[in-house]
Amino acid sequence: MTENRRLSPGDAAPAFTLPDADGKDVSLSDYRGRKVIIYFYPAASTPGCTKQACDFRDSLAELNEAGLEVIGISPDKPAKLAKFRDAEALTFPLLSDPDKATLQAYGAFGEKTMYGKTVTGVIRSTFLVDESGKIEVAQYNVRATGHVAKLRRDLSV
């Protein structure tokens, strides 16, 4: 399998419309005119993904005050996302990408190394999309723990 093309600052953010945890469609275009952090994670309710989601939840007020919205995207079905949202009291949209088209468009699905083996899966990644729909920050292979704190430092939030 070949590596997906990775996005860089200045690239147009790939458009998407995906169902949220309640099955309601959410599009990137809904955020036009605002900055949005889009983060891709492998699976709801797993230890690393729960830690990362809770870090975003706990930082959401400060991120929102800085003019930043947050969206999480995984291949999970909406029903699993709803359980995850409710269990962890998450207050930002979780979107479902079961066919992985959006994950692939962002370069967040492909070969990665896990425990010394090459596997194909979700590459934990985070993007900041600016008000005009351009990638401002693209981070691949981020760590679940400490990532939100690092992102806040990088963005001076």
The span from the CA of 113 to the CA of 24, in Å, is 34
Separation of first and last alpha carbons in the chain: 38
CB 102 within 8 A of CB 18: yes
Q: Please tell me the predicted confidence (pLDDT) of residue 2.
A: 43
∠ Cα 99 105 111 (to 5°): 80
Average pLDDT score over the chain:
92
The span from the CA of 81 to the CA of 57, in Å, is 15
CB 135 within 8 A of CB 128: yes
Spans of the chain, pLDDT less than 70 = 1-4
Domain ranges of the chain: 17-154
Q: Please tell me the predicted confidence (pLDDT) of residue 4.
A: 62
CATH of 17-154, one of 2.40.160.40, 3.10.20.90, 3.20.20.150, 3.40.30.10: 3.40.30.10
pLDDT in tens, 10-36: 999 999 999 999 999 999 999 999 999
Active site (catalytic) residues: 49
AA letter at 157: V
**Structure tokens of 39?**
């983060």
pTM of the model: 0.93
